[in-house]
Amino acid sequence: MSTLIVGLILFLGVHSVRIVADDWRSAQIARRGEGAWKGVYSLVSALGLGLVVWGYGQARLDPVVLWAPQAWARHLASLLVLIAFVLLAAAYVPRNGIKARLHHPMILGVKLWAFAHLLANHTLADLLLFGGFLLWAVADFRAARQRDRRLQTHYPPGTTTATLVTVAVGLLAYAAFAFWLHAWLFGVRPV
């Protein structure tokens, strides 16, 4: 369990710098250069992610059960993750209406993904992993919205075509993940 915790601290910690120390981050980028910052950020992220994956896998071998899983929760989790995939697509498809309205769809997608997995899973490792990501996403969304207000960030209006493409990409990615990739990567078939 300690490997999972260290991985979460590294991964979510480096992703939280902008939440808790945005001015320090800007100073480091100005002093060392954007390339150096991104390099260190990527290395720490990759190390943290690797530890999270390995630690979670190890924790699954000897699970600490916290509550009994409910059948309805798996179905609700599948629906929420489908929406999370559409939100993830919205972060990348230019000029879609979802990003125009929500501004930070990827963070909202992480919130839904984490919450859905908390519903469907029931061990201490699940609580640490998905609960950690949920808390981080709540804090990051709040910080991003405050930053938008402070910087008076404006998002371009979305188009119907881009929004439809976003939904299609999200649905296709969800289908690939739900019906094939999730079982291949994690050994669990969600649908």
pLDDT in tens, 6-32: 999 999 999 999 999 999 999 999 999
Please tell me the predicted confidence (pLDDT) of residue 84: 98
What residues have CB less than 8 Å from 94, skipping those under 6 apart?
162
Q: Do 187 and 112 share a structural domain?
A: yes
Whether residues 9 and 99 fall in one domain: no
Q: Are residues 114 and 189 both part of a single domain?
A: yes
- Note whether 56 and 89 are same-domain residues: no
Residues 6+ apart with CB under 8 A from 97: 157, 158, 159, 160, 162, 163
State whether 91 and 178 are in the same domain.
Answer: yes
Which of 13, 47, 62 delimits the end of a domain? 62
One domain, residues 116 and 75: yes
Domains in the chain, number: 2
- Could you say which residues of the chain have pLDDT below 70? none
User: Does an H or E element contain 16, and which?
Assistant: none
The pair phi, psi for residue 92, each rounded to 5°, is: -115, -25
Same domain, yes or no: 75 and 113: yes
What is the pLDDT, as a whole number, of residue 109?
98
Q: Are residues 138 and 155 in the same domain?
A: yes
Which pLDDT score is estimated for 18? 94
| Runs of H (alpha helix) within 33-123 | 34-61, 71-90, 97-102, 105-120
Domain that holds residue 41: 1-62
The pair phi, psi for residue 52, each rounded to 5°, is -60, -50
Residues 51 and 72 in one domain: no
Q: Which residue type sits at 39?
A: G
